[in-house]
Amino acid sequence: MKFTFNITAPEMLRTFLQRHHFSKRTISAIKHNGALIVNGQTVTVRKQLVVGDILEVYLADEVPSKRLKPYRQKLNILFEDDYLIIISKPAYQNCAPSRDHLHYSVVEQVLGYLNEQQQDINPHIVTRLDRNTSGIVMLAKHGFIHHLMSNINIDKKYLCICQGKTERDGLINAPIARHPESIIQRCVNLSGKIAQTRFKRLNYNRGYSLCEITLLTGRTHQIRVHFQYIGHPIVGDHLYGGKHKDYQHQLLRCVQLSFLHPIEKKEIVIKDKYDAIETIFNMI
């Protein structure tokens, strides 16, 4: 991956890279397996840049972990460019390998797709979903892009079907911590980290609410914990009080991501299909 800069002020190259959010790890990797070129000549980070210089930065190549097994199955791609790939995942698929599910994860499926496209790329997960939550997942095509995305606000919207009739809209402001009796489960606890979830009821029918949700923070299991906390567990969520005879996974879907592109510097809005959850709501 290559970046080109027109230098408009005198500056040491190392300082320039740091100011443009190249991390120490990225700079170190470039030194070992990449290139810094000014006006066609290879240089080091100690190079003093002057006005009018043309700087080319070649990022180091990355090698995927040998533990990842490329998984070739058609992806539902919502957006792709040289830096990011955004897909829609189904329920029952991990974003990354876990102890209980070693393979067939999103990252391995994306790796298989990139291999087919003859792109020698190591994908990095930017946003992730629980195994049994469906919808939008974003991955970066290089560790540097992943690092840039870690400093960018990503707005996320979800749809869910929950038990009972919720308020028309509301803000759930309740800190979340690990459950004292589980390594997986979370709970509302005053000693936990701040967690805020905004919701709006879109519809109500036969004892169930269809809600649109906006995350203001990003804690593990946040939506699931918060909806249990307000007495409206998500349908199908056996871990948080929403067990249902017809649905074995939580009816929760990430349907929209919006963010400022780290390279193009333009607002990107990605939408997934709403009808998957809405269809179930009309049938439940």
- pLDDT by residue (tens digit) across 188-204? 999 999 999 999 999 99
Structure confidence at residue 63 (pLDDT): 85
Q: Which pLDDT score is estimated for 106?
A: 96
First CA to last CA distance, the chain: 48
**Is the CB of residue 202 less than 8 Å from the CB of residue 212?**
yes
Q: Which amino acids are annotated catalytic? A: 130
- State the pLDDT at residue 32: 85
- Residue-level pLDDT at 278: 85
Query: What pLDDT, on a 0 to 100 scale, did the predictor assign at position 274?
Result: 66
Which residues have CB under 8 Å from 210's CB, separation 6+? 159, 160, 161, 201, 202, 203, 204, 277, 278, 281
Low pLDDT (below 70) residues in the chain = 274
* Dihedral pair phi/psi, residue 36, rounded to 5°: -120, 120
CA distance linking residue 24 with residue 284, whole number of Å: 52
What's the pLDDT at 121? 87
How do 252-260 and 134-140 pair as beta strands?
parallel
pTM of the entire structure? 0.90
**198 touches 192 (CB < 8 A):** no
Q: What is the pLDDT of residue 267?
A: 97
Task: Give the pLDDT confidence score for residue 120 in this predicted structure.
Answer: 81
Q: What span, in angstroms and rounded, lies between the C-alpha atoms of 10 and 183?
A: 52
